[in-house]
Amino acid sequence: MPADRLSMRKTREILRLRWDLGLSLRKTAMSCGVGYTTVHDVLARAKEAGLSWPLPEDLDDSGLETRLYPSAKRRHRQAQPDFAAIYRALKQRGVTLELLWQEYRQADRESGYGYSRFCDLYRQWRGQLDLVMRQEHRAGEKLFVDYAGVGIKIVDPTTGLVAEAPVFVATLGASNFTYAEACEGQDSQSWIQAHIHTYEYYRRRKRCHGPR
């Protein structure tokens, strides 16, 4: 077990066995059920923090942890994202979780979470919010369709002109299986054509991955 994850109760016991009873490092490790290197690390941190036995009576577990692991405590405080602000920002057009993570890491390059951990923590936080309405869908019952808020830029290979094409998106309610297509416009013909392509796509997928 890494030293920085030890409970303060076990940390105190290591210090007591080594400094008060004079046990060797190996006997202290065996008695506490930890590794030799863990005992060595705890003692080194305690000496660096200027501690000795007996520990000060007014030094509680929180204070002891701060004395032994000051940098870890500081990193932990700095690395916590503001998930409420992130939740509000995601409602804005063009804002993605990856963009918000990049801003977060720029503010805390040394101790900030990686992208995958950042996303996991946000999903955990998001799951704790009270939901206004919960919908349950049976497989294949509903298909949700709309144009995305942001289109995709297409470059004409001949002229080099750049145009923005609207993106049609269809998602099955039960599985969240999604189809997306760049369209020429948002007129009725493009709308109908995108639906036809969607149904053709799902039908091909069913043939390829359906039960055999």
Q: Which pLDDT band holds residue 181 (cuts at 50, 70, 90)? A: very high
The answer as to whether 132 is a domain residue is no
* End-to-end Cα, the chain, rounded Å: 49
Residue 61's domain comprises 3-75
Higher model confidence: residue 8 or residue 206?
Answer: 8
- Give a yes or no: residue 10 inside a domain: yes
Q: Please check whether residue 51 lies inside any domain of the structure.
A: yes
Q: What is the pLDDT of residue 167?
A: 92
Whole-prediction pTM: 0.40
CA 82, 83, 89, 93 dihedral sign is positive
Q: What is the mean pLDDT of the chain?
A: 82
Q: Is residue 177 part of a domain?
A: yes
pLDDT tens string 99-143: 898 888 887 666 677 888 888 888 888 877 755 555 666 777 788
Asked if residue 176 and residue 123 are part of one domain, the reply reads: no
Q: Which residues pair with 164 in a beta bridge?
A: 153
Cα 31 to Cα 13, 16, 92, distances in angstroms: 9, 12, 57
pLDDT at position 4: 42
Residues 20 and 70 in one domain: yes
% of the chain with per-residue pLDDT over 90: 23
Q: Is residue 137 part of a domain?
A: no
**Is 135 part of any domain?**
no
